[in-house]
Chain A
Amino acid sequence: MELLLFDAFNGLIQGTFYALMALGLSLIISLNSVINFAHGGFMVVGAYLAYTLAPYIGFWGALFAGPILAGFIGIIVERTLVRYMYGRPDPIYSLLLTFGFALIIEDVVRTIWGAQGLPFEIPSALNSPVSTTYFFVTGYRLFVIAAIALATIALFAFLRLSRFGIRIRAGILDLETVSTLGVNVYLLRSVNFAIGTLLAGFAGVLAAGILQLAPTMGDDVIMATFVAVVVGGIGSLLGSVLGGLLIGLAAGVTTAYYPAASDVVIYIIMAVVLIVRPRGLLGQEGLFE
C-alpha cells in the first residue's frame, strides 16, 4: 500500500509536468496550427539556461530567467521559421520543420554543455524531507506541484481576464474574423508561441531539480506530451491538463504493479481513448482532420 501511494504520488508529479508541457503545446496547436515537435527542445533549453545562470542570479532568479529566455527563443524561431508554415493546411510540414529544429536543439545543447548529465542545485530549504511517515517526500516535490498549479491558474486567468488572452481565445476559434476586427494577429501568434515555449522552459527548470540535466531529457517527455494532448482532446486546454495528470498517474500506478509496462501504458491508454472517444476526452470535432 505504501509503495502504491509512493508510486502514485511520483506519477502525479510526472503528470503535472506532462500537463504543463501539454498546455503549452496545446496553445500552439490551437492558435498557430503548428504541431510543435521542438517543444521538448524548448524545455531542455530553458533548463540548461537556468543551470548556467543559477550561479549568478540564484535558483529563484534562474527559475524565472530560464523560461523567459526560452520564450524569447520561441519568438525568434516563430518569426524566422514557423511563420512559413501558416499558409499550409497540411500539418505534416510544421511537424517535420519542428522535428528538424528539435534535432538541432539537442545537438547544440550537447555541443555546448556536453552529453553527460549535469546536477541542478536546488535550495536546501526545499530539499529537506517534509514527511517521512508514509513515504519519503521532499519539499521540492511539493513545491513543484504548487508551482505548476500556480502557473496553470495564472495562464487560465490570463486567457480569461486580460484583453490579450481573450484575443488569443477568440483567435483559436476564428483567426480570420479576429484579424478583420483589427487585431494584429501576427503579434498574437508570436506571443502565443512564446507563451507556449515559456511554459516548456518552466517545466524544464522544475524538472531539472528532480532529474539530472541531459540533452535528451526532452525526447522522453515530448511523446508523452503528445499523448497527453491527444488523450485530453486536441484544442482543449483543460483537456490537456487532465490528459497529462491522467497519464502521469497511470504510469505511476503501473510502476507499482508491473514496472516493465510503465512506459508503454500511456500509449495503450491513448489507443483505447482514441477508439472509444475518437477526439479525446474533451476534444472538438474538425480540428486537424
Chain B
Amino acid sequence: MSRRIYVNGAVWLLLLTAALWLPLIGGYMALASRVLVYALAAMGLNLLLGFTGCMSFGEAAYFGLGGYGTGLFLTHLTHSTVLAVIAGTIVGGLAAFLFGPLVMRRRGIYFAMITVAIGQIFYFIAERWNSFTGGEDGLAGFSRQPLHLGFAIVPLDAVAFYYFVLFFFAIGAGVIALLLHSPLGHTFIAIRENRRRAQFLGIHVERYVWASFAIAGVIAGLAGALNALQNNFISPINLYWVESGNLVIMAVLGGMRSFWGPLVGAIIFVGIQDYVSSYFPNNWETFIGGLFIVAVIFFPNGILGIVRRRMKAA
C-alpha cells in the first residue's frame, strides 16, 4: 500500500516538474505533451484491453473523432479551447457509446475485427467527406486559443500547453483510478479473469463490456481532442487502424496489467519515434517494427510486468 503511494507520488512529481528537467536530458515540451496525449489514450484503451480483457483494435476511431470534434468545433462554433476539448470528448465518447451494443457481444478476434471495421468506416468517411473534414489532406485552419482564466489571459505556448494537457491527463487518470477501485472496476477485472463465471454470478457481462467500451471511448476522445490542439491539425491518419495498433503496442509495451503501464509504453514509443525519425528519417518504421517484435517476444507482460516480478522475487 505504502509503495503505491510512493510510486504515484513520484510519477506525479516527475510529470509536474517536467518543464524543469526535460530540457536537461534533451527533450522538449511538445514531445512531453505528445507523450501525455498518447499515454492518456492508451490508458483508456487499457481499461478495455488490460482490465476488461477485450481486444480492441479500433480505438483510433474515438481518438480521431475526438480530434475532429474539437477541430470542427473550433472552426465553426467557438473560440474557447476548453469548450472545444469538452466537445471532442463528448463526440468520441458518444460514438463509442452508440457503437457499444454492436461490439459488446463479440469476443476475442471478432471483437478486434468489429472494432477495426467501425474505425475504418470513420476513417473512410473522414477521408472522403472533403467539404466537411478536409478529406485526405486533413483538417487545418484552427488553432488553440489563449485561455481566459478570469484574472489573466494565458497564451498556450509549448510549456503552458503541456500543463494544459497535464491537467486533463490528471482528470482522465484520476477517473480511471477511481473506477478501478470501485465495484465497477472490480467487475471489469472479474470479466477479464473468467467471463463465464462472471455471467454465472449474475453479472450482465455485455452491459459491463459496453460500459468499459464507452468509458475507453470518452478517454480516447479527450486524448484525441488534446492531440488536435497539440498539432493544430487533424488528419484521417489519426483514425486509421495503424494508429489503433500503435495504441495497443504502447499498452502492451508498458504492461497491460499495470495502471501506469501505458504511460511507460507511450514514453518509450513516442520517444523512440521522435529520436529515430530525426536520425533515420526514412527508416524509422523498421525501428518501430523491431520494437514491436522485441516487446512481444521478450516482454509479453510489459516493462512494468518485469519490474513487478523482480520486486516480488527480491
A residues at B contact (CB < 8 Å):
35, 81, 84-85, 88, 90-93, 95-97, 99-104, 106-108, 110-111, 223, 226-227, 230, 234, 260-261, 263-264, 267-268, 270-271, 274-275, 278-279, 287-289
Contact = CB atoms under 8 A, between A and B. Distances in A.
Residue from A35, A111, A274 with most neighbouring chain B CB atoms (10 Å)? A274
Nearest to A102: B289
B308 interface: no
Contact of A107 (B116, B245, B286): B286
Contacts of A268: 121
B105 A278 contact: yes
Contact of A95 (B112, B125, B293, B297): B112
B109 A223 contact: no
Given A267-B120, A270-B114, A274-B110, 5 more contacts: A101-B292, A103-B285, A223-B241, A226-B113, A264-B128
Contacts of B289: 99-104, 107
Contacts of B116: 223, 226
B95 interface: no
Contacts of B2: none
Nearest to B286: A107
A271 B105 contact: no
Contacts of B55: 90-92
B293 A271 contact: no
A59 to B, nearest CB: 31
Contact of A288 (B109, B241, B291): B109
Contacts of A81: 293, 297
26 contacts: A84-B297, A88-B300, A92-B248, A96-B248, A96-B295, A97-B292, A97-B293, A97-B297, A99-B245, A99-B289, A100-B249, A100-B291, A103-B292, A104-B289, A106-B285, A107-B283, A107-B286, A110-B282, A223-B116, A230-B113, A263-B128, A264-B120, A267-B118, A267-B121, A271-B117, A278-B110
Interface string B259-303: 000000000000000000000001101101111110111001000
Interface in B90-126: 102, 105-110, 112-114, 116-118, 120-121, 124-125
Nearest to B298: A84
Contacts of B191: none
Contacts, number: 122
A264 B114 CA distance: 13
Contacts of B118: 267, 271
Most A Cβ at <10 Å: residue of B114, B116, B245, B289: B289
A69 B300 CA distance: 31
A218 to B, nearest CB: 12
Nearest to A268: B121
Interface string B201-231: 0000000000000000000000000000000
Nearest to A115: B282
Contacts of B292: 96-97, 99-101, 103
A268 B123 CA distance: 13
Nearest to A104: B289
B166 interface: no
A146 B107 CA distance: 38
B47 interface: no
B42 interface: no
Contacts of A96: 245, 248-249, 252, 292, 295-296
Nearest to B295: A96
A247 to B, nearest CB: 12
A91 B293 contact: no
A55 to B, nearest CB: 27
Contact of A234 (B105, B109, B252, B288): B109
Contacts of B285: 103-104, 106-107
A254 B15 CA distance: 51
Contacts of A93: 252, 296, 300
Nearest to A92: B55
B13 to A, nearest CB: 32
B95 to A, nearest CB: 14
A230 B110 contact: yes
Contacts of A91: 55, 108-109, 112
Contact of B110 (A100, A261, A267, A279): A279
B301 to A, nearest CB: 11
A264 B121 contact: yes
Contacts of B105: 278
A84 B125 CA distance: 38
Nearest to B124: A264
B245 A271 contact: no
In this complex, the member of A106, A107, A278 whose beta carbon has the largest number of chain B beta carbons within 10 angstroms is A107
Given A99-B292, A268-B121, A275 B286 contact: no
A92 B252 contact: yes
B283 A288 contact: no
B293 A278 contact: no
B282 A111 contact: yes
A103 B249 CA distance: 13
Contacts of A234: 109-110
A36 B89 CA distance: 34
